[in-house]
């Protein structure tokens, strides 16, 4: 029986694709690198920030670090101008799950401070028991560490846990930790990719999640 649900943030709870993609493209322009398509940028969402850039094109570690630093600076400014909202049904669904006794957490490759800001702005604090960001783990998705660290902190086992995310990295993270996994199709990933990654469930809107569990 599922008692703990670990959610990805970008593309699963928060509709951040436009902000992330525009920031990545602005970063590439600022550091003098070729600008890639929005689709290519979106395909890296879920990876640690530095890896997003090395995934897009070959570059040395110094350049990747420069991209990471520049991204954070640009993101900080853009985030003041672009209001981020939750996807449809997210807040109501989290409320329903919380009221039914589910423990809800977030595991993301986004920085912890940024996650805390989004959770507060979206008024999710009363539903989320734990937030793990990029700097909270040594090994990021698709490694199992974010899940295993959550299980240890909250005293749950893999067979009591469901990982929910929009990218293959989320599904693989859950599978590597031995949990059940659920892919969502409304974010940055495709249903076929989530299926190929081995997702146990695939849903088109988060409001379908309680129906899978109860």
pLDDT, one tens digit per residue, over 128-154 is 999 999 999 999 999 999 999 999 999
Task: Tell me what pLDDT residue 44 has.
Answer: 94
Q: Name the percent of the chain lying above pLDDT 70.
A: 100
Residue of 206, 174, 167, 212 whose CA lies nearest to 86: 206
Reported pTM? 0.92
Mean pLDDT of all residues in 111-124? 92
8 is catalytic: yes
Choose which CATH entry (3.30.60.50, 1.10.3720.10, 3.40.50.1000, 3.30.420.40) describes domain 4-15+85-213: 3.40.50.1000
- Listed in order, the ranges of the chain carrying CATH 1.10.150 are 17-81
pLDDT band at 80 (very low <50, low <70, confident <90, very high): confident
Beta-carbon neighbour count of residue 118 at 10 Å?
22
Task: Tell me what pLDDT residue 68 has.
Answer: 96
pLDDT reading at 102 higher than 90 = yes
Q: Which overall architecture, per CATH, does domain 17-81 show?
A: Orthogonal Bundle (1.10)
Mean pLDDT of all residues in 21-49? 95
Given the residues 8, 136, 166, 170, the one annotated as active site = 8
Phi, psi of 145 (to 5 degrees): -55, -45
Positive or negative, the Cα torsion across 168, 3, 121, 92? positive
- Listed in order, the ranges of the chain carrying CATH 3.40.50.1000 are 4-15+85-213
3-class DSSP state of 16: coil
pLDDT reading at 178 higher than 80 = yes
Task: Tell me what pLDDT residue 76 has.
Answer: 87
């Amino acid at each position: 029986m599922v008692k703990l649900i670990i959610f990805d943030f970008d593309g699963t709870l928060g509709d951040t694709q436009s902000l992330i993609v525009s920031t990545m493209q602005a970063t590439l322009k600022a550091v003098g690198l070729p600008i890639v398509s929005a689709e290519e940028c979106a395909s890296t969402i879920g990876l640690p920030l530095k890896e997003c850039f090395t995934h897009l094109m070959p570059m040395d570690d110094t350049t990747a670090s420069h991209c990471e630093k520049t991204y954070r600076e640009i993101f900080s400014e853009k985030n003041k101008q672009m209001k981020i909202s939750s996807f449809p049904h997210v807040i109501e669904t989290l409320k329903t799950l919380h009221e039914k006794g589910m423990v809800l957490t977030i595991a993301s490759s986004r920085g912890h401070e940024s996650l805390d800001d989004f959770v507060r702005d979206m008024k999710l604090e009363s539903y989320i028991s734990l937030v793990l960001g990029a700097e909270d783990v040594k090994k990021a998705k698709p490694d199992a560490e974010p899940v295993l660290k959550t299980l240890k902190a909250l005293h749950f086992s893999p067979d009591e846990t469901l990982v929910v995310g929009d990218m293959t990295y989320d599904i693989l993270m859950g599978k590597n930790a031995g949990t059940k996994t659920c892919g969502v199709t409304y974010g940055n990933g495709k249903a076929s990719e989530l299926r190929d990654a081995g997702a146990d469930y695939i849903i088109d809107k988060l409001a379908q999640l309680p129906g899978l569990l109860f």
